[in-house]
Chains A and B, each alone.
Chain A
Amino acid sequence: MADGAASKRPLSPHLQIWRFTVTLAASITHRGTGVVLYGGLLLMALWVIGLALSPELFAAVSAIIHSPLGFILIVGFVWSLLFHLMNGLRHLYWDYGRGFAMKTATMTAWLVYIAATLATALIIWAGYGGGA
């Protein structure tokens, strides 16, 4: 803050005073996954550009996708998209004016973590040949 003393605008909650709650964690994770997806979407653009330009470039991008690093990136991207998607629905429900009760918010936060993790496992399992 450049001019905290002079400013009459309200300050956001203090960064050092808080205790862990799953709703707080979900809020931070929503922001984190938003940034991960930002990077993921840019990487995905590389994939289509490679597909448009040449088989060689596509092969290079494919090689990364099939490497251990690529596996980590894909698991991270899939989990992030699932979490952000489900938690985004919580946000939209709030914008609609519902779901604020502490018990409800806590339950849906846990639900999003669990469901995102289970669905990621399922998608990765199917994608790497477990399914078809």
Chain B
Amino acid sequence: MSKKGTSAFILQRASAVILAPLSIWFLFEIVSALTADYATARAWLSVPLNAALLGAFFIIGALHMRIGLAEIIVDYVHSWAKDVLLFINWLAALGLIAAAAWSIYTIFFAG
């Protein structure tokens, strides 16, 4: 148990360090994303660098947010609901990774 806590602590910090530059990139992108139409957005995601960085943002973000919310759940919920919430938290992170990876893959190879 204590070993698990340590690796979660390290992964939370490692993911934060990677997320920092990714977020700055992302904040620049979101400016153009606000006005983009379907064709523009798909063309944008067909650029390898954009697809890779967006994929990385989702996957590392999912790992980081799962650990973070698990910590919050453990802080506030002490009943049986804790395990249910922790399980949903896992599903949400896995679903996010799967959905984002599939979408980016599909768009990237459709051209």
- A residues with a Cβ closer than 8 A to B are 1-2, 31, 34-35, 37-38, 41-42, 44-45, 48-49, 51-53, 55, 58-59, 62, 65, 74, 78, 81-82, 85, 88-89, 91-92, 95, 119, 123, 126-129, 131
Q: Separation in Å of the A32 CB from the closest CB of chain B?
A: 10
Which residues of B are found within 8 Å of A74, using beta-carbon distances? 30, 34
Q: Are B31 and A34 in contact, CB atoms less than 8 angstroms apart? A: no
A-B contact pairs, 22 of them (CB 8 A): A1-B78, A31-B72, A38-B69, A41-B96, A45-B58, A45-B99, A45-B103, A48-B45, A48-B100, A52-B102, A52-B104, A52-B106, A52-B107, A55-B38, A59-B38, A62-B38, A74-B30, A74-B34, A82-B27, A85-B19, A89-B20, A123-B27
CA A122 – CA B87 in complex, angstroms? 39
Residues of B29-76 whose CB lies within 8 A of A: 30-32, 34-35, 37-38, 41-42, 45, 54, 58, 61-62, 65, 68-69, 72
Number of interface residues of B (CB under 8 A): 37
Q: Are B31 and A123 in contact, CB atoms less than 8 angstroms apart? A: yes
Query: What is the predominant secondary structure among interface residues of chain B facing chain A?
Result: helix
CA A78 – CA B28 in complex, angstroms? 11
CA A38 – CA B72 in complex, angstroms? 12
Q: Separation in Å of the B90 CB from the closest CB of chain A?
A: 13
Q: Separation in Å of the A117 CB from the closest CB of chain B?
A: 14
Partner of B45, one of A2, A42, A51, A131: A51
Partner of A34, one of B34, B69, B96: B69
Which residues of A are found within 8 Å of B45, using beta-carbon distances? 48, 51
- B residues with a Cβ closer than 8 A to A are 13, 16-17, 19-20, 23-24, 26-27, 30-32, 34-35, 37-38, 41-42, 45, 54, 58, 61-62, 65, 68-69, 72, 78, 92, 96, 99-100, 102-104, 106-107
Known A-B contacts A45-B100, A95-B13; A35 and B72 likewise in contact (beta carbons under 8 Å): yes
Q: Are A35 and B69 in contact, CB atoms less than 8 angstroms apart? A: yes
